[in-house]
Amino acid sequence: MPRIQLENITKYYNHEKRLIPAVKDINLVIEPRDFVFVTGSSGAGKSTLLQLIASEITPDEGKIYFDHIEYNAKRTFLRKPKKDGIGYVSQLSHLMRKRTITENLMMVARMKTGFRKERPHERIEKALKMVGLPDAGRFYPVELSQGECRRVELARAILNRPSVLILDELTANLDEDTIWDLFHLISEINRMGTTVIMATHAKNFVNIMRKRVITLVAGEIFGDVQKGRYGDVVKQQPPL
């Protein structure tokens, strides 16, 4: 089971010819089977942090370790954590409109990610069942609701049985019932042993779940609280 460790991670973006850190000097350890909410206002650095952990982008400073192995996106063999161990759902939907749900999932199911007992079709069937859409395979994304499409993306992310699931605003723009269903589902996936790292604005749900809550402010960790609530911050230590 992997442990994720970030050491002095900084990522800059170019803004009007100046380098601005999107996340700055982040130090973080996420233990196996942890459930972590990443919160903070828009622009606080949540997506950047998640993309770094998912090895979608590389840091400008610092190191990230997955199970004690350092990420290095330039060297393919070390991209293995992403291929094999991490399921990532980005903020924007990436379902292909002209492909059915099964065809969309097949691209991921066929990825060569080591020895798998089950055939791609079986894994797709199981993943769709898991997210409560057993019959969605033959439909096109446009025939599904927004909430159902997000479920399909969740199914795609868990297809290859990742040990870490990274979800960026999975529940944005969804109604309360759908959000609740998704949170329930993600809790279940976590309960079965998958580490979950989830950026969200769903304050009420974060408060009910009482999981670890990391709060980012202007790219820095402002709070990191076990069994936390939305907006919890670490108590400042008095100066010695």
> What residues between 7 and 26 interact with ligand ADP by CB under 6 A?
13, 22
Classify residue 214 by burial, with Cβ atoms within 10 Å: 0-12, 13-18, 19+.
Answer: buried
Of 136 and 199, which has the nearer Cβ to ligand ADP?
A: 199
Binding residues for ligand ADP, total number by CB under 6 A: 10
Of 127 and 214, which has the nearer Cβ to ligand ADP?
A: 214
> What residues between 120 and 139 interact with ligand ADP by CB under 6 A?
none
Phi and psi at 186, nearest 5°, equal -65, -40
Site string for ligand ADP, 30-59 (x = CB under 6 A): ----------x-xxxxxxx-----------
Of 24 and 123, which has the nearer Cβ to ligand ADP?
A: 24
Compute the least distance from the CB of residue 214 to ligand ADP, in Å.
Answer: 12
Amino acid, res. 65: Y
Compute the least distance from the CB of residue 178 to ligand ADP, in Å.
Answer: 21
Of 190 and 200, which has the nearer Cβ to ligand ADP?
A: 200
Q: In this structure, are residues 138 and 101 in contact, taking their beta carbons and an 8 Å threshold? A: yes
| Cα-based distances in Å from 235 to 212, 217, 232, 238 | 15, 15, 9, 9
Of 30 and 127, which has the nearer Cβ to ligand ADP?
A: 30
**Helices 101-109, 146-158: inter-axial angle, 10-degree rounding:** 20
Long-range contacts of 221-228 (CB under 8 A, 24+ apart): 221/26, 221/27, 221/28, 222/40, 224/28, 228/37
Q: Considering only CA atoms, give the Rg of the chain.
A: 18
- Cα–chain-centroid distance for residue 19? 26
Compute the least distance from the CB of residue 28 to ligand ADP, in Å.
Answer: 15
Compute the least distance from the CB of residue 94 to ligand ADP, in Å.
Answer: 16
Of 46 and 150, which has the nearer Cβ to ligand ADP?
A: 46
Compute the least distance from the CB of residue 200 to ligand ADP, in Å.
Answer: 11
Residues near ligand ADP (CB under 6 A): 13, 22, 40, 42-48
